[in-house]
A and B are shown apart, each in its own frame.
Chain A
Amino acid sequence: MTTLRTLKKLLLGETWILPIGVAVTVAAGAGLRALAAGAWQHVGGPIMLGGVLAVLAASVETSVRRR
């Protein structure tokens, strides 16, 4: 169990917010691309940057609240 826990921490980090947030951001990007491929090419970057910053903010705030 300790080894599994260490491996999980190594790959996914200390909080579930990050892997779930990254997965949601990537999945949302794929969904938006499927809906509007032309526009996505040009606005997808800023949208994904916004998603990543939101995930970072949520993970930091959650860590602060836990302490």
Chain B
Amino acid sequence: MTFTLVAIGAAIAVSVELLEALAIVLAVGVSRRWGDALIGAAAAAAVCALLAVVVGPVLLASIPLDALRLTIGTLLLLFGLEWLRKGTLRLAGRRSRSSSMAEFLEAQEALHDVPLPPDGRPDWAGRIVAFKGVLLEGIELVLIVAALAARPSGAAPALAGAAVATAAVVVAGAWLRKPLTRIPETELKWGVGILLSAFGLFFAAEGLGVHWPGDDIAIVYLVAALAVYSRLHAHSLAAKAVPA
């Protein structure tokens, strides 16, 4: 049960982060040159891989079990609640819906006034935009996957979910060469917020000595409680916004 939930959580979190990074790389590739877009993206991916190699083992090796659960739980709560806050606002119509297309257009806009250097000369503006986009999304991705992978019961589900999601998004991006506009990103991100918050709460409380009724099943009712609460709050905000 926990294996599946962790794998799903990691897969969805990685997918939505990669979609945003992909949109920026595609924008640079389409409007500038593919070679420079890929160089910038590859450099950022290398920095993220280095970060992953450092963060994961440090979390696992240097912190006692209860403190590790509390640290992971708190980290996941911070990420999860932020995604859930934004998701609740979006579902209530109080914040614009999440869209990789918006990232795509924003990246194109940022490069609009910068002249493209002649062939054979590096396009540093394009490389930097691709690097920065992939790096920022990648750091968040590494922290989430490292926290899920550093669970005492093992890294396998988080790494499996992340690997499947990475392959799916990269193949889709390479095949379509444009942002995946029909994916309901708002709902996906809301779902990730629910899952990360539930895992965070579960681990943080365990780190503080709590025994959850039903053990791992607790994650299911935590997911349900957070989802119901967030939906009700969004519904109430949406109702307030409608004039009488």
Taking Cβ atoms with an 8 Å cutoff, the residues of B that contact A are 70, 74, 77-78, 81-82, 84-85, 88-89, 92, 94-95, 136, 139-140, 143, 197, 201, 204-205, 208-213, 218, 222, 225-226, 229-230, 233, 237
List which A16-67 residues lie within 8 A (CB) of chain B.
18-19, 22, 26, 29-30, 33, 37, 40-42, 44-45, 48-49, 52-53, 55-57, 59-60, 63-64, 67
A residues whose Cβ falls under 8 Å from a Cβ of B: 6, 10-15, 18-19, 22, 26, 29-30, 33, 37, 40-42, 44-45, 48-49, 52-53, 55-57, 59-60, 63-64, 67
A15–B225 CA distance with the chains assembled, in angstroms: 23
| B78 contact from A12, A30, A33, A45, Cβ within 8 A | A12
Instruction: With A13-B78, A48-B204 as known contacts, state yes or no: A63 contacts B209, CB within 8 Å.
Output: no
Pairwise interchain contact A18-B78, C-beta atoms closer than 8 A = yes
Interface of B is mostly: helix
Smallest CB gap from B218: residue in A: A45
Q: Looking at the assembled complex, report how far the CB atom of B229 sits from the nearest CB atom of chain A, in whole angstroms.
A: 5
